[in-house]
Amino acid sequence: MDPLYFVLLFCWHFWTCFEPFIGLWFFFYIFHYVHLTLEEYEEAEGFVIPVWDVDFNPFFPFEFYNF
């Protein structure tokens, strides 16, 4: 049998088994990168109270943080 068959089979198996985890990893990586970047910007501009951001929850609506 062609060795390429086993390579393609491995790639297909890896993608179908781990694609949800890869997607979640990219989602949280990008989300946390954006959050930390915005946090640094807010601290540099001086309009953030750090205590408000301690319990940051990405699934919680942002408008509830505007006390």
pTM of the predicted model as reported, rounded to 2 decimal places:
0.45
- Indicate if the pLDDT at residue 61 is higher than 80: no
Split at pLDDT 50, 70, 90, the class of 7 is: very high
CA gap 15, 13 in Å, rounded: 6
Q: Calculate what percentage of the chain has a pLDDT beyond 90.
A: 15
Split at pLDDT 50, 70, 90, the class of 52 is: low
Average pLDDT of the chain, as a whole number: 80
Q: What is the dihedral of CA 25, 23, 10, 16, to 10 degrees?
A: 140
| More confidently predicted of 7 and 60 | 7
